[in-house]
Amino acid sequence: MTDWSKSEDDLLKYYSGTANYTTTFTYQKSDAKNVVIDLGEVGVMATVTLNGENIGTSWMAPYRLNITDALQKGENKLEIKVVNVWRNRLTGDKLVPEEEMSVSGLMGPVTIRTIK
């Protein structure tokens, strides 16, 4: 996970749009009443799907969503769609100073947290 605007690759550095992050993880049942996913740092907003169920969208800190109802014992499939702003594409088109670019992507760290 990295800030796209810091990439050496201009196609990623000046990208504006949606990127999909997918992974699987194993969950061992616990006595927690709630389980949340903490996305860490996100630029700009993220939509989370767990095991095919839309969990929700987060566009401001803290980037946390409750995943209790969609979480399964054993293997889970996680998808995070991150959308950034158009400004980075415009910056690339004009090649204005990089300080004007917005943080983009999923910087994480992404963690699953139990709440007792």
15-19, 36-40, 90-94, 111-115: least confident range: 90-94
* 23 assigned to some structural domain: yes
Band the pLDDT of 79: cuts 50, 70, 90. very high
Residue 35 has pLDDT above 90, yes or no: yes
Domain carrying residue 74: 4-106
* 14 assigned to some structural domain: yes
Residue 96 has pLDDT above 60, yes or no: no
Peptide bond into 44 cis (omega under 30): yes
* 114 assigned to some structural domain: no
Place of tokens 């999923």: 106
The total number of structural domains that make up the chain: 1
**pLDDT tens column, 11-34:** 888 788 899 999 999 999 888 899
Taking residues 31-53, what's their average pLDDT? 94
Residue 58 has a pLDDT of 96
Say if residue 3 is exposed, middle or buried (CB neighbours under 10 Å; 0-12, 13-18, 19+): middle
* 112 assigned to some structural domain: no
> DSSP state, 10?
H
Residues in the chain: 116
* 116 assigned to some structural domain: no
pTM given for the model: 0.80
Specify the CATH number for the domain of residue 48.
2.60.120.260
63 in Cβ contact with 107 (< 8 Å): no
Name beta bridge partners: 40.
108
